[in-house]
Amino acid sequence: MWLRRSKSKSRIHDAPPLKFACTSFKDIESLVSGDWSAAAGAGCTLVSPTQPSICHRSRNVTPLLRTLSHPTSPLIDAAREETKPEIRIPGAEKTVVVYFTSLRVVRRTFEDCKTVRSILRGFRVSIDERDLSMDSRFMAELQKILGQSEKSKLALPRVFIGGRYIGGVDEVRRLHESGELKKYVEGLPAAQPGTCEACGGHRFILCLECSGSHKCYSEKTGFRSCTSCIENGLVRCPSCSSAP
């Protein structure tokens, strides 16, 4: 006859789990057999289940450190915005300055420039439009204002209102949709009605010194480059454009 196996009243799950740290597994048999005194002598340290381990505390601190060190952290962005110096254009406190391009080489850039110009023209204020495709000096001028090197690439358009730097197409569109852009342009001089008769709205006219050839001739020096116009023989329209 088979003897019935008596059931133990103690359950394995009733005992709290024990954590241990051991520098060597040569006495693993002592740990498995439950000889804790031998295990302690072998260099193993028992950790109370109710005592938080150093790894547990480290896991709680890691997400906070990761948030603070992340490049897009709101705390870091706010600190950078407070310490960032304000970019301004001296002498442009009573106008809107827009750096853009009229070239259609990059379709998205052209559409962004067109959108910004349309939004700003809707307020009927004085706008100084500086086309980088017409005058290369505007590029060097904008890089100097923004504090960037000559080799850096600039995304267009760039908008300044009252001499203060506003941003590009995303910033102008967001301010316009929220109604804040109207507050920025309040108090600025109104734009001249109609199209400029001198340049037809192109902001440039032919140079009178060289008749648009960018070359001047004299008997003493012969041909020389005209210093009154840009490389394409144009000058900014004095009727509708302010000097850069």
pLDDT tens digits in sequence order for the chain, 244 residues long: 455 555 555 554 455 555 545 545 555 555 455 554 554 555 555 444 455 554 445 455 555 555 545 544 454 444 454 455 789 898 889 999 999 999 999 999 999 999 999 999 999 999 999 999 988 889 999 999 999 888 888 899 999 999 999 999 999 999 999 999 999 999 999 988 878 888 887 888 899 889 888 888 888 888 889 988 888 888 888 887 765 4
Pick the CATH number of 96-185 from 3.40.50.300, 3.40.50.150, 3.40.30.10, 2.70.98.90: 3.40.30.10
Residue range(s) in the chain whose domain bears CATH number 3.40.30.10: 96-185
Torsion, CA 8, CA 12, CA 13, CA 16, rounded to 10:
120
Spatial separation of the C-alpha atoms in residues 152 and 4, rounded to whole Å = 87
Helix, strand, or coil (residue 57)? helix
